[in-house]
Structure 1
């Protein structure tokens, strides 16, 4: 019986190696952006907090509809943890900006728009 349990343990360990390797290959700044604003987003920019310029639009020609999410991936060589995020709405080109997000500890950013206060907020998980 011990041999069966030991063999089963080895099989489980062997199956977890590729998963561990795949996770290790991803940058720790990767996160999921969730759009719960009620509006379509036309552009998403993510730039290092110390940068004076926005990087390229990560959506490219695409848009992010309400209720959709987007996995934003970084190159493994990215070293900084603090990033700024900017979203631009498709309806009127207005935007919302968040500064100094610690993407080394955040895996999901959910944005919401409140019509009564005319504000876009974000929660960081």
Structure 2
């Protein structure tokens, strides 16, 4: 009798562990790191990424750094909200500002700013 109970308990534990892995798997798999590549002729002096549910831009991700032409940086835009869609704002040394809306950072791992 004890052996049957122990075997059932073990199966329940394994089943629960398997179910929790299935449930947590997709949430943990969402990688919100994006490699930003500057393929323009001007330095990116500020870069912002805010989820589409925000009404304002978050802090400048580059801080005191800059992204020179030909350079790249990998940023983690995960703000803990679970959003996958983000708006990007790049401010360039020549004064240009480029805003790109609705970028799915759960599916895009590289984003290029080009001179086009």
TM-based fold match above 0.5: yes
| Structure with the largest fraction of helix | 2
State the 1:77 CA deviation: 3.1
1:97 aligns with 2:96: no
Does the 8 Å contact 1:41/1:87 carry over to 2?
yes
**Which residue is 1:28 aligned to?**
31
Larger gyration radius, structure 1 or structure 2? 2
**Which residue is 1:120 aligned to?**
none
The normalised TM-score by structure 1 is 0.65
State the 1:109 CA deviation: 0.1
Structure 1 residues 1-16: aligned runs within 5 Å = none
Q: Post-superposition, which runs of at least 4 consecutive aligned residues in structure 1 deviate over 6 A?
A: none
Could you list the per-position Cα deviations for residues 45-91 of structure 1 after superposition, in whole angstroms to 9, with x for gaps in the alignment? 00011211000000001110000001001447340000000000012
Q: Give unpaired runs (5+ residues) of structure 2.
A: 1-26
The normalised TM-score by structure 2 is 0.70
Aligned CA-pair RMSD: 2.0
Q: Give unpaired runs (5+ residues) of structure 1.
A: 1-23, 115-125
Q: Which has the higher contact order (CA 8 A, sep 6+)?
A: 2
Alignment CA distance shift 1:76-1:59 (3 Å): closer
Does the 8 Å contact 1:41/1:64 carry over to 2?
yes
Distance 1:111 1:27 in 2: 23
